Amino acid sequence: MRWDLHGLFVRHAREIDRFLRRRGHTPETAADLTQDTFVRMMAAAPGRAEENPRAYLWRVARNLSIDLRRRERVVEHVHLADEAFQRIADGAPSPETVVYDRQRLAIVEKALLELPARTRSAFEMHRMGEKTMSEVAVELGLSTSRTWTLIRRAYQHLRARLNEDEAS
């Protein structure tokens, strides 16, 4: 015999949810446990819940509630104010990261100086000045496609220099 899971849910989900709330669970937790109850019902071995599916649902809900309470007793919950929580994580980079980033920045600065003046100027206007390709093109008196080529070459040059440093 198979039962109508949808019908069981429609008939019993609300009362199981109320039962779990009366046991002291928050509405969100009760909803999660109710859903877990029906998931267990779906996964139940045939024959286990066929005689009295309602009793099986209630037993599963009760057991899930007890299991959750046991887990909550083992795990210590600490409620912190937002200010205290923000102080836990240090947003500052590690000293190794700072050194690495400074080394890479020095490589980029050196690589920028190696670029032809017009290429460097186009790259700096686009990347650091946050100008569009067309704005850079107008300022340099070039076509947009030529400006794009200059900026692309600058990126390629910088990437090549950074990759050379990583290889050595």
For the stretch 32-77, pLDDT in tens is 999 999 998 888 766 655 678 888 899 999 999 999 999 988 887 7
Query: Which pLDDT score is estimated for 168?
Result: 64
Q: Is residue 81 part of a domain?
A: no
The domain that holds 139 is classified in CATH as 1.10.10.10
Computed on alpha carbons and rounded to an integer, the radius of gyration of the chain in Å comes to 32
Of the ranges 25-34, 36-45, 104-113, which one carries the lowest mean pLDDT score? 36-45
pLDDT band at 151 (very low <50, low <70, confident <90, very high): very high
Q: Is residue 30 part of a domain?
A: yes
Count of domains forming the chain: 2
Residues 9, 64: one domain?
A: yes
Residues 12, 64: one domain?
A: yes
Task: Kindly write down the DSSP assignment for every residue of the chain, as one continuous string.
Answer: ----HHHHHHHHHHHHHHHHHHTT--HHHHHHHHHHHHHHHHHSPTTSSSS-HHHHHHHHHHHHHHHHHHHHHHSPP----HHHHHHHS--SPPHHHHHHHHHHHHHHHHHHHHS-HHHHHHHIIIIIS---HHHHHHHHT--HHHHHHHHHHHHHHHHHHHHHHHH-
Residues 110, 68: one domain?
A: no
How far does CA 153 lie from the centroid of its chain? 34
Residue 56 belongs to domain spanning:
5-74
Q: Is residue 134 part of a domain?
A: yes
Q: Is residue 96 part of a domain?
A: no
Q: Which residue reads 């409620």 in tokens?
A: 79
* Among 37, 54, 74, residue at a domain's last position: 74
Whether the per-residue pLDDT at 139 is higher than 90: the answer is yes
Q: Is residue 95 part of a domain?
A: no
Q: Which residue reads 């920028």 in tokens?
A: 112
Task: Give the pair of three-digit tokens for residue 8.
Answer: 């069981």
Task: Give the pair of three-digit tokens for residue 29.
Answer: 């937790």
Query: Which pLDDT score is estimated for 78?
Result: 76
Q: Is residue 125 part of a domain?
A: yes
| Mean of pLDDT values over 99-127 | 95
Of the ranges 15-24, 73-82, 93-102, which one carries the lowest mean pLDDT score? 73-82
Residues 69, 108: one domain?
A: no
Q: Is residue 84 part of a domain?
A: no
Task: Give the pair of three-digit tokens for residue 16.
Answer: 């199981």
pLDDT band at 3 (very low <50, low <70, confident <90, very high): low
Say what percent of the chain tops pLDDT 70. Answer: 94
Q: Is residue 86 part of a domain?
A: no
